[in-house]
Amino acid sequence: MDNEISKLSNAAVSLFIAILSGLGVGSGGLFVIWLTMVEGVDAVGARGMNLLFFVFSASAALLFHLIRKRIRLSAVAALALFGTVGTVIGSIVGGAINPVILRKIFGAMLFLSGVYALIGKVRRTKT
């Protein structure tokens, strides 16, 4: 009986997380938290399952947008090219910088990005 309740609660939580994902909420973090704190899965395994979850949800979103012709393939090709070049350059630069300094730079970038997004949102609501 307990096993059936556990399966039912897992299904309900998975459905809830999938709905949040469809709404654009950062559900990957919720999935990892659920797996590690409630289900007792180790962090590495939880992140692996989250990546698998992402592959299926991203594939469904891609199929949906392809069917509705909302994707410009020329833009995708340009982004893929520049993203690949940026990844290679970032990997080389990242390997040459002290990891402690790199974490601080990344944290500062996230902070500034958040402030920029917040300021932009406030400006849009005032107009």
The dihedral of CA 17, 21, 27, 31: what is its sign? Answer: positive
The per-residue pLDDT for range 24-74, each reduced to its tens digit, is 776 678 888 888 988 899 999 998 988 888 888 788 888 888 899 898 989
Task: Report the alpha-carbon angle 74-27-126, nearest 5.
Answer: 75
Highest mean pLDDT range out of 3-7, 19-23, 27-31, 47-51?
Answer: 47-51
The yes-or-no verdict on residue 127 having pLDDT over 70 is no
The dihedral of CA 99, 46, 25, 60: what is its sign? Answer: positive
